[in-house]
Structure 1
Amino acid sequence: MHSHSETEELFSFEVSNYCANELHKMVAEEWDKGTDEDGWRKRWEVALCNAYGRADGAFKDKSLAPYSVGSTASIVILSPCHIIAANVGDSRVVLCRGKRAIPLTVDHKLEREDELARIRDKGGRIVQWGCLRVEGVLSMSRAIGDHGLKPWIISVPEVTFTPRTEDDEFLILASDGLWDVLSNDVAVRLAREEFRYQRRQPKKDDTSSHPPAINVAKELLKRAFTAYTCDNVSVVVVDLKLPRRRPHQKF
């Protein structure tokens, strides 16, 4: 999520909340419309791109939010064999595999030469205003919303497919409020330590106890604020060590 003034913060929350509540439904609808004619990867790419486009298109209606606000959006789809990640903006998805931190998305920042060239090719200006910004306003190159900066700011997600392994431990999905103050390696190390601590705790029979992943996310949130992050922070942790159904073996 991002905004350009405090008065627009509420509207920016509206965009991010809309994405949180509706984007996954759009992905499911777009998947159902597709076929495997061009392969399952292509079907997922089309479904995700169409869903992001629909969410972005909703904010052409100015009654929902001003054209000056928008949101990042990250999605992860888990199959028994693959991790599918999609992202626009500077939120990030990081996989812990063994002790290693593996980013599954690449931030849409203006430090990326490919993104910089795309914007300039369309006539957009890049202005140094504290950091590189499109038209002196936005410091990222893709987002949902921000219709005042079209066609330079696009909502097309980059999609990655990562085969799952037995060494995969967890995923961290977080906004730049976390990644601005914690590196991928540090965030994964802290999360692994918190997972070990949580799993050593005696199990409670009552329904009030949280799964370890929730407490790990809370710990990362706390660490971000302890490190004096200057941005809002959203964190989701997905435990990949939970039992999962195996695909049926075909002979």
Structure 2
Amino acid sequence: MAEICCGVVGAGETPTPTIEPNSRNSVRRSLDFLPLKYIADMAIPSENISRKRQKLDPSTKKGVVSSESSTNEKSTKNEVVLVANCSNVSEAENEVVVVEDCPKYGITSVCGRRREMEDSVSVHPSFCEEKSEQNQNPFHFFGVFDGHGCSHVATMCKQRLHEIVDDEITKNREKESVDWKSTMEKSFIRMDKEVLNSTKTKQSFTCKCELQTPHCDAVGSTAVVAVVTPEKIVVSNCGDSRAVLCRNGVAIPLSSDHKPDRPDELDRINSAGGRVIYWDGARVLGVLAMSRAIGDNYLKPYVISEPEVTVTERSDEDECLILASDGLWDVVENDTACRVVQMCLKAEKTVSPPGSPGSVVTGVGSDKACSDASILLTKLALARHSSDNVSVVVVDLRRDQRQQ
């Protein structure tokens, strides 16, 4: 992590003239420049990659899975695990090797103009597998959590939610297919209960709220989570973070922001006996600017942790998936974000003619392209004067046509 200080001048603005150090205006002006905590990451393939091969039985034509050169049973954030039953197929010596790469991705998270960083990002490639006699389909977990009140609920979600989802999927493993709506709803409710229990058991957190109000329950976090399988994109959203799919150049929102003045959310809050008060925008009881979140026990039952779940079939026209906190979406439209990512994905294929002066390859892989896209989106949000933390995950969903 590195801390950088920067001032952004928007389009059409003129630079501020130099102010004398001793003037009162200089003191007031200095408050506008706050440290930007900057984190960037991208998927980096490991040289020793876990592989699985599917051997072909000549008599039955059924595959038998065996492992080969597996170095780690579980992948870390920067490892790519290649698993059976995927798009790239080759046949040699009575063997069928079926492999699918983990989707490549890029992550950027900046503190922005806030004094504290309360966002968290969670990425777990191949965090679990749906196993059957012939298939081992890898599931990949991507999540963005935007904390409020403090950072510890977002941090807990980062550390635990993917494990809870894995456990819920495991419980349904005997079924032919996963009931994603039920699975994700149960996972979010379990996560919310863990947050509640952490305050009751006075679990220690290394954060500012421990110093101000020990074991405060007036802390929460949004959660937008995407589970990407070979066939589906499952998005679960609780709060005002957002997931957007770019398909054939069109931005398709896969989640809907939970704002207190959204008509159905407003009716739900009123039915529960709560009120939406307009105080610098619509807020539940005049306090919280979102109607769903994990945590925020003092606002229950008006603020709930139940997510809205969408299941989208993957298509060969899919280009990318963007998950981001409202620090981005408050100032950048869905279409604009998709165009930025498209530009980066196309740039990776641009190569100057060999031997030409200054010839360079502008991208060495879509992992770098996704990382560049996430960085550009955060810079765009800051240039448009976003006042919140900004966290962005870009996932490359492009794939070759499956062989028939």
Question: Which TM-score tier does this pair reach, normalised by the shorter chain?
Answer: 0.7 to 0.9
**Is residue 221 of structure 1 aligned with residue 221 of structure 2?**
no
Contact 1:59–1:147 at 8 Å: present in 2 too?
no
* Greater helix proportion: 1
Identify which range, 23-32 or 64-73, moves more after superposition.
64-73
**Is residue 47 of structure 1 aligned with residue 195 of structure 2?**
no
Per the alignment, residue 193 of structure 2 pairs with: 57
1:120 corresponds, among 270, 278, 283, to 270
SS in 1 for 2:282: strand
Contact 1:199–1:212 at 8 Å: present in 2 too?
no
Per the alignment, residue 32 of structure 1 pairs with: 170
Measure the CA separation in 2 of the matches of 1:154 and 1:54.
13
Measure the CA separation in 2 of the matches of 1:98 and 1:8.
35
Measure the CA separation in 1 of the matches of 2:188 and 2:292.
11
SS in 1 for 2:390: coil
Contact 2:347–2:363 at 8 Å: present in 1 too?
no
Point out 4+ residue stretches in structure 1 off by more than 3 angstroms.
Answer: 5-11
Measure the CA separation in 2 of the matches of 1:141 and 1:220.
26
Measure the CA separation in 1 of the matches of 2:188 and 2:115.
26
Measure the CA separation in 2 of the matches of 1:96 and 1:210.
17
Q: Once the 2 structures are TM-superposed, how far is the Cα of residue 7 of structure 1 from its aligned partner?
A: 8.5
Report matched runs for 1:53-202 at 5 Å: 53-60=189-196, 61-62=198-199, 63-64=202-203, 66-200=216-350, 202=361
Q: Once the 2 structures are TM-superposed, how far is the Cα of residue 197 of structure 1 from its aligned partner?
A: 2.1
Q: Once the 2 structures are TM-superposed, how far is the Cα of residue 200 of structure 1 from its aligned partner?
A: 2.4
Does the C-alpha gap of structure 1 residues 59 and 126 become closer, same or farther in structure 2, counting only changes over 3 Å? Answer: same
SS in 2 for 1:225: helix
Q: Give the greater-gyration-radius structure (CA).
A: 2
Contact 2:236–2:308 at 8 Å: present in 1 too?
yes
Unpaired runs of 5+ in structure 1?
none
Unpaired runs of 5+ in structure 2?
1-113, 119-147, 204-214, 352-360
Q: Once the 2 structures are TM-superposed, how far is the Cα of residue 182 of structure 1 from its aligned partner?
A: 0.3
Measure the CA separation in 2 of the matches of 1:25 and 1:47.
12
Per the alignment, residue 46 of structure 2 pairs with: none
Per the alignment, residue 16 of structure 1 pairs with: 154
Q: Which amino acid aligns with 1:40?
A: S
- TM (norm. structure 2) is 0.55
The C-alpha deviation readout for 1:59-117, integer Å capped at 9, x for no partner, is 21323552111111111111222211111000100000011000000111123111111
Aligned sequence identity (%): 42
Does the C-alpha gap of structure 1 residues 204 and 107 become closer, same or farther in structure 2, counting only changes over 3 Å? Answer: closer
The C-alpha deviation readout for 1:112-166, integer Å capped at 9, x for no partner, is 1111111110101111101110011101110011111011111111110111111
2:395 corresponds, among 234, 238, 246, to 238
Q: Once the 2 structures are TM-superposed, how far is the Cα of residue 198 of structure 1 from its aligned partner?
A: 3.4
Q: Once the 2 structures are TM-superposed, how far is the Cα of residue 47 of structure 1 from its aligned partner?
A: 1.6
Measure the CA separation in 2 of the matches of 1:112 and 1:40.
33
Measure the CA separation in 2 of the matches of 1:171 and 1:34.
26
Q: Once the 2 structures are TM-superposed, how far is the Cα of residue 236 of structure 1 from its aligned partner?
A: 0.2
Tell me the matched-pair count.
239
* Greater strand proportion: 2
